Structure 1
């Protein structure tokens, strides 16, 4: 009996996942172009047509078109998530929580969009430079420059985009793989797709102009692969560390379950995994068949920022993580006025901001 269309599509995706789970990376600058402000430009595609002229000779006419690295479906999904997830956070009261430490964020570029909402160290001035000030009551205000990046397209993103293109709704709260493809065991810690790697490589020139003193990555494979492609020029110059505090929401979705740290570390021995306490993924297992709630996730993010990021000695840091995580961070944990800065990230997108920690009175 022939497999169903959806089963055949899943089989193709899973086979491709296994074929692309590699250990070593060797990506050059070929194919990466940037504008004067460092914004990645779409890839180029040459289309040639041959016509026969009146005298019988052949004439070849070629035109160069731009191909976006982000599909209309992916862009539309990001716009929709911005609306629906912000409403969910509002309904839960997550947008109005006042925590002991206030974390504010300010955009560091006049323009904010895919790949150009970034901050280059050479542009620093007294107002944007990281610093620590002490008030008369011995409380301190700490400021850091943070470069956030979402991972490139993973195979779980691909299958979800394929469902959307087919007009098939996805119920991310369902444990039924016929309603929610990301609960399938085949999607355990999915790697980047070929397109995902291309997206991340397109950000390399941009990231090479940044000056992080530390790169923090989620322990998920797609984030590590993303960081090694986009921040490749910083691999040997600054420390790299992995932390559970910046991984995607826990529970139910197998695409958010990691492999054992011993396995990951064998593939990436140059990354420091010492902040992670457990070899197996006990955090994900604790939630079982339910998803981590938005409020639970916001508390985990707050703890990561105030107890880890704030206390790091580095003043400029790159953090490579996940879309739902970043959306919760920018909307429910930090106080940010610029609405564009709080929108859903596209895959591989980079945004820089000035992050300030201050004790509430």
Structure 2
């Protein structure tokens, strides 16, 4: 395995207070297989950034005016606000973590955190067309190529990328010990998941959800085949989270960047409600771009660049997802959040 010399190795806290919820993302490392080159970026040092000046100021004021050891002043996390609007966040949300900017550390409650490995799908047929055709990405439009790249599958090179990433994962000094694999219901992500984390080698459930599919555009490459067909091709995957057999999202709606960002936060809320704490997510670069760019605007520039850059095909990026509030999975509960599409 070849180390990539240009990328700095460190652990960084990436925070974001979005309009749809409150989370912190912490990068744990990057593992990528591009062409014949693989590189791993371990976490070597700690660099803490500003979480949110507004929340920090509130917490400092509360810490100086209240004795948090006093039971009367302890915050009951079970009563945390369920509002998904950042404007409605109350100061108690900051008690889900302890941030000491002057000391250079943040402490998060273990039960609030999940290890999540985000994997972009391996090279697919439409990626090659986009790269090699003179029209570039415009070749994928229906008026230029029809349905040629509808729900495009992996190329031979993409299949090889999956094999290399799987071997790199198996060679890690500490196993991932995955409890769940979440996958977009498009063919290229399903194939990547099956070839990278084979169900036969890991006793772990595979769940498909449209919450992490690619941004819905007018390109047939971003549309999926019917679930009834996908179930036969990928029998190990649980498609119960996909509500319709046909791709009604592609037929009935198109997403701009803001809509995709909102869906991304819904996806984080869905993950936060899951019982599993070690999760792999096989998804798409466009979705990841719009998800991650909502976080880390106030951190060191090199860390920001690492979070926001476009992932390579079959690149795995490990993060910590820290939820500042509880998201109930019980409809009607005070802290229940509807994450359906």
Q: Kindly state the Cα deviation for residue 277 of structure 1 after the two structures are TM-superposed.
A: 0.8
Which residue of structure 1 lines up, in the alignment, with residue 129 of structure 2? 159
Please point out which of 236, 249, 258 is paired with 1:295. Answer: 258
The secondary structure found in structure 1 opposite 2:176 is coil
Unaligned runs of 5+ in 1: 1-33, 41-94, 124-134
Distance change (3 Å), C-alpha of 1:257 and 1:173: closer
* 2:231–2:237 contact (8 Å) kept in structure 1: yes
Distance change (3 Å), C-alpha of 1:172 and 1:310: farther
The secondary structure found in structure 1 opposite 2:261 is helix
> Does structure 1 residue 116 correspond to structure 2 residue 44?
no
> Does structure 1 residue 193 correspond to structure 2 residue 155?
yes
- Alpha-carbon distance in structure 2 between the residues aligned to 1:336 and 1:275: 35
Q: String of CA shifts for 1:289-345, please: whole Å, max 9, x gaps.
A: xx4100000011111111x10011111100000010011111126778422122101
Q: Number of aligned pairs? A: 244
Which residue of structure 1 lines up, in the alignment, with residue 244 of structure 2? 278
Where in structure 2 are the equivalents of 1:181-330 lying within 5 Å? 181=145, 184-208=146-170, 209-232=175-198, 235-287=201-253, 291-306=254-269, 308-330=270-292
Distance change (3 Å), C-alpha of 1:297 and 1:351: same
Q: String of CA shifts for 1:168-199, please: whole Å, max 9, x gaps.
A: 4444896531xxx4xx2121111100011111
Q: Kindly state the Cα deviation for residue 231 of structure 1 after the two structures are TM-superposed.
A: 1.2
> Does structure 1 residue 136 correspond to structure 2 residue 75?
yes
- Alpha-carbon distance in structure 2 between the residues aligned to 1:320 and 1:353: 14
* 1:242–1:275 contact (8 Å) kept in structure 2: yes
Q: Root-mean-square deviation (CA), in Å?
A: 3.0
Q: String of CA shifts for 1:10-31, please: whole Å, max 9, x gaps.
A: xxxxxxxxxxxxxxxxxxxxxx
* 1:216–1:242 contact (8 Å) kept in structure 2: yes
Distance change (3 Å), C-alpha of 1:239 and 1:113: closer
- Alpha-carbon distance in structure 2 between the residues aligned to 1:310 and 1:136: 20
- Alpha-carbon distance in structure 2 between the residues aligned to 1:144 and 1:218: 19
Which residue of structure 2 lines up, in the alignment, with residue 27 of structure 1? none
* 2:130–2:136 contact (8 Å) kept in structure 1: no
The TM-score, its normalising length taken from structure 2, stands at 0.64
Which residue of structure 2 lines up, in the alignment, with residue 145 of structure 1? 115
The secondary structure found in structure 2 opposite 1:241 is strand
* 1:251–1:292 contact (8 Å) kept in structure 2: yes
The TM-score, its normalising length taken from structure 1, stands at 0.61
Which residue of structure 1 lines up, in the alignment, with residue 311 of structure 2? 345
Q: Kindly state the Cα deviation for residue 154 of structure 1 after the two structures are TM-superposed.
A: 0.5
Structure whose alpha-carbon radius of gyration is higher: 1
Please point out which of 294, 319, 330 is paired with 1:332. Answer: 294
Please point out which of 104, 107, 110 is paired with 2:27. Answer: 107
